[in-house]
Amino acid sequence: MIGFIAIVALFFIILLILVSCLKIVPQSFTYVIERLGTYVGTWNTGIHFLIPFIDKIAKKVSMKERVLDFEPQPVITKDNVTMMIDTVIYFQITDSKLFTYGAEDPLRALENLSATTLRNLIGELNLDDTLTSRDTINNKLRSILDVATDPWGIKVNRVEVKNIIPPEPIRAAMEKQMKAEREKRESILIAEGQKQSAILVAEGKKQSAILEAEALKEAAIMKAEGEARAILEINKAKAEGIKMLKDAGADATVVKLKSLETFEKVSDGQSTKIIIPSDLQNMAGLVTTVKELAKK
């Protein structure tokens, strides 16, 4: 009975050992396997069996892209200005074996390599170039780190200079310069606005003067045309009157009578000069004849 129990217990122990040796590698992970302290292979996603007491998982490596945000590093520019630069590195492990055995602490090595490379790059630039050449610094730093980390099984995908912190006196001077530039742009904009306003006012006055001159010209033309039409109508009326007298068969007596009426209007005291016709005697006779005819 005791022997049976021991056999059952041994069976369960062996079963537990076998179950514990079944390993499932999740997605985006790899397991580095050692056998008796020697690298024998890398497990990818799936189910794997580990030989008990002989094989062991040396390292579990994530193949996902990672982000390292380093502390700000003090660097000195070409013109001897000390500033703090904060960088962010995006990297990915491409070879689990090299990452496990290539360096004692690959991430620490990457951080130190990034700091020294950054100091070398900034040391070749002056302050203004450093502040305005972030893309250049990012590309150079990424290229250098990507080549240097190949033996560690690391691929550097992207490097970003997150923050550049100049010394306080330089920041104060930069703020004053920016303020002066803003005030300069404001003064230029105000001057441009005043200039445009003056131009528009002058253009408005010019157009107003042109329109006023055009209106006066049109009024003078219309007035002249009206006077011409009035004179024409008067002449037409006179011509029509003469024509009507001729058509009515008026003789010289009637014509002279009309002349006498005209002379009467002229001598009504409104005119300062009176021209007496040479045939005034004939006209007087005509008046007498008219009076006699009226008596009859």
- CATH of residue 95's domain is 3.30.479.30
* pLDDT at residue 277 greater than cutoff 70: no
Residue of 251 and 87 predicted with greater confidence: 87
Kindly state whether residue 47 falls inside one of the protein's structural domains.
Answer: yes
Q: Are residues 93 and 74 in the same domain?
A: yes
Domain that holds residue 281: 251-296
Q: Are residues 71 and 57 in the same domain?
A: no
Buried b (16+ CB within 10 A) or exposed e, 86-117: ebbbebebebbbbbbebbeebeebbbebbbeb
Kindly state whether residue 204 falls inside one of the protein's structural domains.
Answer: no
Q: Which of 82-86, 187-191, 219-223, 275-279 has the lowest mean pLDDT?
A: 275-279
Kindly state whether residue 103 falls inside one of the protein's structural domains.
Answer: yes
Kindly state whether residue 188 falls inside one of the protein's structural domains.
Answer: no
Kindly state whether residue 24 falls inside one of the protein's structural domains.
Answer: yes
Q: Are residues 70 and 162 in the same domain?
A: yes
| CB atoms near residue 131 (< 10 Å) | 15
11, 40, 62 - which closes a domain: 62
Q: Are residues 80 and 152 in the same domain?
A: yes
19, 40, 62 - which closes a domain: 62
How much is the CA Rg of the chain, to the nearest whole Å? 59
Task: Tally the domains of the chain.
Answer: 3
Q: Are residues 91 and 142 in the same domain?
A: yes
Kindly state whether residue 238 falls inside one of the protein's structural domains.
Answer: no
pLDDT the model gives residue 294: 47
Q: Are residues 34 and 8 in the same domain?
A: yes
Kindly state whether residue 10 falls inside one of the protein's structural domains.
Answer: yes
**Distant-in-sequence contacts of 73-80, Cβ < 8 A, 24+ apart:** 73/115, 73/118, 73/119, 75/118, 75/119, 75/122, 75/123, 76/119, 76/122, 76/123, 77/122, 77/123, 77/125, 77/126, 77/127, 77/130, 78/123, 78/124, 78/125, 78/126, 79/126, 79/127
Determine the average pLDDT of the residues in 83-99: 91
* N-term to C-term CA, the chain: 189
pTM (2 d.p.): 0.55
Q: Are residues 58 and 75 in the same domain?
A: no
pLDDT the model gives residue 88: 92
pLDDT averaged over every residue in the chain: 79
* pLDDT at residue 30 greater than cutoff 90: yes
Q: Are residues 57 and 89 in the same domain?
A: no
pLDDT the model gives residue 290: 42
pLDDT the model gives residue 286: 47
Determine the average pLDDT of the residues in 34-42: 90
Burial of 170 (0-12, 13-18, 19+ CB in 10 A): middle
